[in-house]
Amino acid sequence: MVLPQTAVLRTEITAYLAPNIRKLFCGVEDRLLSHLEEIRLRCNQPLVLRVGDKEYSIDRHGRVVTDLKQGYLVSREDLYRSIASISDNSLYAFEEEIRRGFITIPGGHRVGLAGQVVVSGQEVKTMKDFSGLCFRVAREVPDCALGLISQVAPRGTPVSSLIISPPRCGKTTMLRDLARLLSDGSGSVPPHNVVVVDERSEIAGCYQGIPQLNVGMRTDVLDACPKALGMMMAIRSLSPQIIITDEIGRREDVEAIGECLHAGITVIASIHARNVEELRGRPLIRKLLDEGAFQRGIVLTRQPRPGRIQEIIRWDESCCG
């Protein structure tokens, strides 16, 4: 049985909060929880709940308040009891995750870490003296990408596509659903072998290597793997027809995409930008566009809601501009 989103939040997320904070959530209405995006715990600062573009807190009596100054102040003990719960009282076992700055919990939800970063050379060695936690709610929206299928797979054949949007506009959610639809097959689009290169563990939300979110029955996931490295690994060993990855932009990403295309693999990726004009201001990405790497561009907006399609660009039918 699939649990309602509010039940999932109460069982999968609040269970990891310190006891004092967990109790506060008992009185929070399901209506608010159903749209919750983040829970932020900062030492000696008010508890913050982000719902859409609004912020709320909960006071000591369990009442939801809009004035954050009235909210419950998160203590150092609250913070460390939450961390102990997330890490099962063994931070050492999560050393690699801590080095990346977040821990994924069952359900695919991510807990971002703030604190003192210990650096060795040019690499992060670990973190200590934690000062904040950011619980980011992983939320599936089945069929949210259904309207895009005819664009990314015209005449039933997937083409390389770039999802363009500013932060918090739903691009990762859209990629996740595209992976599922293309992997399982949808309408006139037959099933495909898909590889998700999930550098930030957000598309599939893997916990102990197993996807917690539905990315399709023919999808392999390279979790916490750098995008460029993962794309090359996929070419060599997983025989993908489609590679899906999030937030490209580095030189090595661009080079790896070129290798995928030369190998006859369709690439569907996302990138941070407000529009195509902004993209073309970046030399590396402009080169990709000018070389015809992508046939489709999908620009997303958050208005009136996340995941709203603002524009479809058909680069294969016109000049890249």
5-136 fold: Beta-Lactamase (3.30.450)
pLDDT at 12: 82
Dist. CA 249–CA 141, nearest whole Å: 26
Q: How far is CA 158 from CA 141, 146, 235, 273, in A?
A: 21, 13, 17, 23
Q: What angle do CA 51, 54, 130 make, to 5 degrees?
A: 70
**Predicted confidence (pLDDT) at residue 321 exceeds the cutoff of 50:** no
Residue type, position 211, single letter: P
Q: If 0-12 CB within 10 Å is exposed, 13-18 middle and 19+ buried, where does residue 19 land?
A: exposed
Specify the residue for token string 């977040």: 102
Q: How confident is the model at residue 6 (pLDDT cuts 50, 70, 90)?
A: low
146-314 folds as: Rossmann fold (3.40.50)
Q: Is the pLDDT of residue 1 over 70?
A: no
State the pLDDT at residue 140. Answer: 86
Average pLDDT, the chain: 91
pLDDT band at 294 (very low <50, low <70, confident <90, very high): very high
Residue 43 has pLDDT above 90, yes or no: yes
pLDDT by residue (tens digit) across 185-195? Answer: 998 999 999 99
Confidence bin at 50 (pLDDT 50/70/90): very high
Which helix (H) or strand (E) segment holds residue 184: the answer is helix 171-184
In the chain the beta strands, taken as DSSP E runs, fall at 36-42, 48-51, 54-58, 64-65, 102-105, 109-120, 123-136, 161-165, 194-198, 206-207, 210-211, 219-223, 242-245, 266-272, 296-301, 308-314
So where are the chain's domains? Answer: 5-136, 146-314
pLDDT tens across 211-246, in order? 999 999 999 999 999 999 999 999 999 999 999 999
Which residues are CB-contacts of 186 (< 8 A; sequence separation ≥ 6)?
146, 149
Q: What percent of the chain has pLDDT over 90?
A: 74
Whole-prediction pTM: 0.87
